[in-house]
Amino acid sequence: MTLTIRPMRDGDAPQVVAMVRGLARDTGADIVPKLTPESLIGNSDLIDVTIAEDEKGLLGACLTLLTYSTWRDAKGLYVVDLFVDPRARNGGIGVKLLREAARRGRAKGARFIKLEVDRTNGVPSASTSAWVSF
């Protein structure tokens, strides 16, 4: 398997939307995300999408936003959604997506990354936030 980590292309948007819906399903969310391929592409000035793929297609996506912390007086990166196809989990793809998203964020001035982990990921509380400086 040759893994490629890269920015999303417009043609990837329908599959990324399906991944976000899969994330909602996997976490037991009561709502279906309203995200559409058109809105994802139309908001590319706000949201940055990093893709993992191999020869067979897309394996994962990390959607991030630039944010700002008044406490840190610094730009940061907020992970909106991180999804890896169930068939490709436990192979380090999520970490690779986060590393590339962080690299891209750092190029835009981000000095930290924030993400929330859902209870279905083995965290004892309902959700947990984490801040990592870089």
Please give the pLDDT value at position 126.
45
Asked if residue 131 has pLDDT above 90, the reply is: no
Q: How far is CA 36 from CA 2, 30, 97, 101, 103, in A?
A: 29, 18, 22, 21, 26
Asked if residue 122 has pLDDT above 60, the reply is: no
Q: Convert the pLDDT of each residue in 31-79 to its tens digit.
A: 999 999 999 999 999 999 999 999 999 999 999 999 999 999 999 999 9
Give the fold, CATH level 3, of 4-133.
Aminopeptidase (3.40.630)
Q: Which percentage of the chain shows pLDDT scores above 90?
A: 80
Q: What is the pTM of this model?
A: 0.88
Strands 57-69, 4-7: pairing is: unpaired
